[in-house]
């Protein structure tokens, strides 16, 4: 079995390297080499450079802005980003929210949310966990109840972002809720809603930094208690 990269894949690697040399801002690269964090403006600027090239969301389906690359090309691209070093899109929008939208969302949701995620117009945090339900999603207590043209989201969430500044940067939260249940916990039905984090009914509690002992924590939960109205088009 020949596991070597093909000539075309090696040529692609050189294309990625040249793009990084030409397009990554010098200050951005220096900060990342030194292990310093980037500001929101710096992350957005770099994301939009990638987006202009068509490389911001390479693993998305091509019809929604992806590249159509092979697995080998995706691997090469990710490896070159790490070695340069520079990062791809920095928030939860591209890793957790977008697959739900382009798989289960309607056309209006896809048209609205996906371009905004790819261009870093929206900054996302996730709301899976609750005070008594961490990774056990079958224990979720938050509920989404239809009320005319809206769903009312009731419950309490721990919002997770990439740092203590993450929620302040976030413009939207992806909230997981139970819509129905059955006698079997495994048969509970879940959905997600996209809530703007500037809602008056979206209070922000205390933050918890360095949960994993790292200097720059990967997790920064915030408590959010509800009765938040979610427009029907924002419910997936």
Give the model's pLDDT for residue 224: 44
Domain that holds residue 217: 93-234
Which residues touch 128 (CB under 8 Å, ≥6 apart)?
A: 135, 137, 160, 176
The verdict on residue 130 lying in a domain is yes
Which residue among 53, 83, 113 closes a domain? 83
Q: Examine residue 193 and state whether it is found in any structural domain, yes or no.
A: yes
| 146-179 tens-digit pLDDT | 777 777 777 777 777 654 454 445 556 666 666 5
- Give the pair of three-digit tokens for residue 81: 């980003």
Whole-model pTM? 0.76
**Count of the separate structural domains present in the chain:** 2
Whether residue 136 is contained in a domain is answered as yes
Choose from 32-36, 84-88, 151-155, 187-191 the range with maximum mean pLDDT. 32-36
Residue 23's pLDDT is 96
Q: What is the pLDDT of residues 47-72, one digit of tens each?
A: 999 999 999 999 999 999 999 999 99
Residues 67 and 98 in one domain: no
Task: List strand residue ranges (DSSP E) for 90-171, in order.
Answer: 124-127, 143-147, 150-154, 156-159
Between 28 and 183, the more confident residue is 28
Whether residue 117 has pLDDT greater than 60: yes
Query: What is the pLDDT of the chain when averaged over all its residues?
Result: 75
Q: Which residue has the higher pLDDT, 148 or 84?
A: 84
């Amino acid at each position: 079995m020949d596991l070597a990269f093909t000539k075309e894949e090696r040529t692609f690697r050189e294309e990625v390297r040249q793009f990084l040399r030409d397009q990554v801002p010098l200050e951005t690269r220096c900060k990342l080499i030194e292990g310093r964090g980037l500001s929101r403006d710096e992350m957005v600027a770099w994301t939009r450079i990638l987006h202009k090239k068509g490389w911001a969301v390479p693993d998305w389906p091509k019809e929604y802005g992806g590249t159509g690359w092979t697995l080998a090309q995706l691997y090469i691209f990710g490896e070159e980003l790490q070695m340069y070093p520079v990062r791809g899109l920095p928030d939860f929008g591209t890793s957790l929210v977008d697959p739900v939208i382009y798989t289960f969302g309607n056309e209006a949701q896809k048209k609205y949310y996906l371009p905004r995620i790819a261009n870093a117009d929206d900054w996302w945090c996730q709301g899976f966990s609750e005070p008594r339900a961490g990774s056990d999603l079958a224990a979720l207590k938050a509920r989404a109840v239809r009320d005319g043209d809206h769903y009312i989201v009731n419950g309490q969430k721990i919002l997770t972002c990439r740092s203590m500044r993450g929620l302040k940067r976030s413009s939207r939260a992806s909230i997981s809720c139970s819509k129905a249940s059955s006698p079997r916990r495994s048969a509970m039905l879940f959905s997600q809603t996209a809530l703007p984090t500037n809602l008056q009914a979206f209070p922000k509690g205390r933050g918890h930094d360095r949960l994993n002992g790292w200097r720059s924590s990967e997790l920064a939960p915030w408590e959010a208690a509800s009765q938040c109205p979610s427009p029907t088009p924002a419910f997936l």
